Structure 1
Amino acid sequence: MTDSTSLRIAILVYEACTGSQVFGITDVLRIGMDLGLDIKARKGPAFDIELIGLAGKSIKIAGGISVGIKRPAGKYDLLIVPGLEINRHVDWDKRLASLSRELAFIKKTFAAGTAVASACVGAFLLGEAGLLNGRKSTTAWLFAPELARRYPATRLQADAVFLEDGAVMTTGAVSSSFDLAIQLVKRTLGAEVATATARVALLSNQRASQSPFVDSALMERGLPAFSQQLQLWFSERLADEYDLNRLALTFHISPSTLLRRIKVETGQSPLDMLQLARVEKAKQLLSNTTWSIARITAEVGYSDVSSFSRLFTRLVGETPARYRRR
């Protein structure tokens, strides 16, 4: 029997969804509940967690593993949508079309007043259901450009680990489902229990950015051809001053068309792309050379170390010196 104050959470289990997110979130919440009983002296669990699905009593998730599920029943406080098993060459139209029942359920549940959270590329299901329109969102950094292309009405923040906009929450790549769980523990049981939960589970409760983990080579291979050309052009001219008109002239299009096309393909501006390219080069030099930060700053086109350090910290989530040490 749960407390009347328990948060009723449903995790939507569907074909080929990612088990680590389904069970990882559940496990962290259960650790939080156990610690909450001690630290907060609760008399009952803080979360009532159900694995729900829309077909039968079991379903095969990623890896062909069968998981027992319940049919949805009653009103939930929160619906969590895990990510799904995909690769960079996935046919999103076909994959999402196969989840039409789940998409309709997400949309209906949200309209009925239930908050909705996605883990990793579960954000694509939220986008397809229309929940990201006009809202901030994030997803796995590798698939962020595709999310921006498919759902241009969302305000994508590709580097974020966890975002909340109204009753919609989204998270970054695979392990950020743990960040979602820690956030739920924090708001339900308090910061002390959340910190203890993170320590017991060997998790960080302060991750703010995916940027330290981004592999620019993987990102570039996943971009449309035009954006790849622009990325290559920038990589060969990192020290050049940014000039939108010159850039547009080089690619034989107008500045407005260039801005619009890059926004559609990547969710960024050309200047964003250049800044990221400069920071990625700096990351390589910090890791692979003993050059001073001043020399690295000049190498990637900046004359002021402080200004570049602020940019680096904003995009990476830590200073150049700390990145080098780590």
Structure 2
Amino acid sequence: MQLAILVLDGVFDTGLTVLLDSFSTANELAAAQGIPFPLFNVTLVGMQKQVRTGLGLTVLVEPVSVAAYPDWVIVPALNAKGPDHLSQALSREDVKRAVAQLRLWHESGCAVAGACIGTFLLAEAGLLDGVDATTSWSLAPFFRQRYPTTRLSDVQMIAVSGNVVTAGAVMGHMDLALWLMRRSSPEIADLVARYMLDARGSFHGRHIMPDHLAHSDPLIAKFERWAREHLASGFSLQAAASALAVGPRTLQRRMESLLGKSPLAFVQDLRVERAQHLLAMGQNIERIAAEVGYADAATLRTLMRRQLGNGVRELRAVMRGLDP
């Protein structure tokens, strides 16, 4: 797979390096499995021969004027964390030329992907008009204001609309890399996820592995979409199975076979993920509980402590950068 990463001045260092490390690791693990050629040929492209990252590092890139047409163009985030700084970045001449180039790539048949704030460049190019997309949760209100025709989701980690894909938040760069890997080799994507995330060590790791595997099975992928849309309702296996036109036992067996957990346990993971997101936005726990399908906050508090190892108070402290 030919991948071009579009690197502009002020690129968010973490986003860029996550993409590079992910695809490099995939190629190394593939070689160890006896695959004699790289799965991913990655080229850094830009509007000039070199750019400076958000932290001031110099990166050499291939000018887009001489770049071949890749299978995928990936746009990592710019290091602009607030609406004012992002507005200024989007008005830069090099960014405007990059947006025009994205449009040309897409019109020529290249697939395009953006992660975190990189999704704004796709929207500037008109590639997200009238389609589903996601972005960094902290800039979602600004995104909606600037691109009102995009169907923006606050809960999806990956949104796919034809040959345009978006991923949310900073670590969405990893989600996006794994999604692209799955298209070439689900087995290598699985190895990369285990190697880089270590599913034992954190809730994000424990969640991303099931999420990665869920997307490899059409029924489970449909179940995830249904569950996210119905988090505010109390979970019913029968209702879920009916919505997917399968029997409850079929759904139960498929979930346990693929993910090693029940449909209810998977929904609880989604509830905790959504609750963390809403906590970070400053909502109170009673309102969050109702939004993720619990009649009282005590049940949600217990679930979060069990899965995350911290209570709501400690989680809020961590999110504010304080000692819990």
Tell me which interval the TM-score lies in, with the shorter structure as reference length: 0.5 to 0.7
Tell whether the 8 Å contact from 1:194 to 1:205 is kept in structure 2 after alignment.
no
Indicate the residue corresponding to 1:305 in structure 2. none
CA distance in 2, matches of 1:219, 1:15: 32
Q: Secondary structure at the match of 1:201?
A: helix
Q: Secondary structure at the match of 1:159?
A: coil
1:278 aligns to 2:287 (yes or no): yes
Tell whether the 8 Å contact from 2:51 to 2:61 is kept in structure 1 after alignment.
yes
Indicate the residue corresponding to 2:304 in structure 1. 323
CA distance in 2, matches of 1:296, 1:94: 41
Deviation, 1:91, is 4.7
Deviation, 1:38, is 3.2
Equivalent AA in structure 2 for residue 296 of structure 1: A
Indicate the residue corresponding to 1:296 in structure 2. 297
Indicate the residue corresponding to 1:198 in structure 2. 193
Indicate the residue corresponding to 1:107 in structure 2. 103
Alignment counterpart, residue 62 of structure 1, candidates 54, 63, 70 = 54
Deviation, 1:212, is 4.0
Indicate the residue corresponding to 1:31 in structure 2. 25
Tell whether the 8 Å contact from 1:171 to 1:177 is kept in structure 2 after alignment.
yes
Equivalent AA in structure 2 for residue 86 of structure 1: A
Deviation, 1:213, is 3.4
Gaps of 5+ in 1: 1-6, 221-234, 236-275, 284-292, 298-308, 310-318
CA distance in 2, matches of 1:145, 1:33: 38
Q: Secondary structure at the match of 1:214?
A: helix
CA distance in 2, matches of 1:136, 1:205: 23
1:136 aligns to 2:117 (yes or no): no
Aligned length: 234
Indicate the residue corresponding to 1:43 in structure 2. 36
Tell whether the 8 Å contact from 2:3 to 2:72 is kept in structure 1 after alignment.
yes
Q: 1:42 to 1:75 in 2, by over 3 A?
A: same
Tell whether the 8 Å contact from 1:17 to 1:61 is kept in structure 2 after alignment.
yes
Indicate the residue corresponding to 1:146 in structure 2. 142
Gaps of 5+ in 2: 198-204, 212-223, 225-269, 309-324
Alignment counterpart, residue 180 of structure 1, candidates 176, 181, 200 = 176
Deviation, 1:93, is 3.7
Q: Secondary structure at the match of 1:124?
A: helix
User: What TM-score, normalized by structure 1, do the two folds share?
Assistant: 0.65
Deviation, 1:296, is 2.9
Deviation, 1:63, is 1.4
Tell whether the 8 Å contact from 1:182 to 1:205 is kept in structure 2 after alignment.
no
1:127 aligns to 2:107 (yes or no): no
Indicate the residue corresponding to 1:211 in structure 2. 274
Q: Secondary structure at the match of 1:64?
A: coil
CA distance in 2, matches of 1:166, 1:206: 24
Q: Secondary structure at the match of 2:55?
A: helix
Deviation, 1:15, is 0.9
Q: 1:111 to 1:320 in 2, by over 3 A?
A: farther
Q: 1:296 to 1:211 in 2, by over 3 A?
A: closer
User: What TM-score, normalized by structure 2, do the two folds share?
Assistant: 0.66
Tell whether the 8 Å contact from 2:19 to 2:173 is kept in structure 1 after alignment.
yes
CA distance in 2, matches of 1:175, 1:30: 17
Q: Which whole-Å deviations, capped at 9, do the CAs of 1:151-194 have from their partners, x for residues lacking one?
A: 1111111111111110111001001101111112221112x221
Tell whether the 8 Å contact from 2:289 to 2:296 is kept in structure 1 after alignment.
no
Q: Secondary structure at the match of 1:182?
A: helix
Deviation, 1:61, is 1.3
1:95 aligns to 2:89 (yes or no): yes
Deviation, 1:87, is 2.8
Tell whether the 8 Å contact from 2:290 to 2:296 is kept in structure 1 after alignment.
no
Q: 1:66 to 1:279 in 2, by over 3 A?
A: same
CA distance in 2, matches of 1:17, 1:43: 33
CA distance in 1, matches of 2:304, 2:4: 38
Deviation, 1:214, is 2.0
What value does the CA root-mean-square deviation take over the aligned residues? 2.6
Indicate the residue corresponding to 1:18 in structure 2. 12
Tell whether the 8 Å contact from 1:282 to 1:296 is kept in structure 2 after alignment.
no
CA distance in 1, matches of 2:286, 2:11: 33
Q: Secondary structure at the match of 2:209?
A: coil
> Looking at CA atoms only, which structure, 1 or 2, has the larger radius of gyration?
1
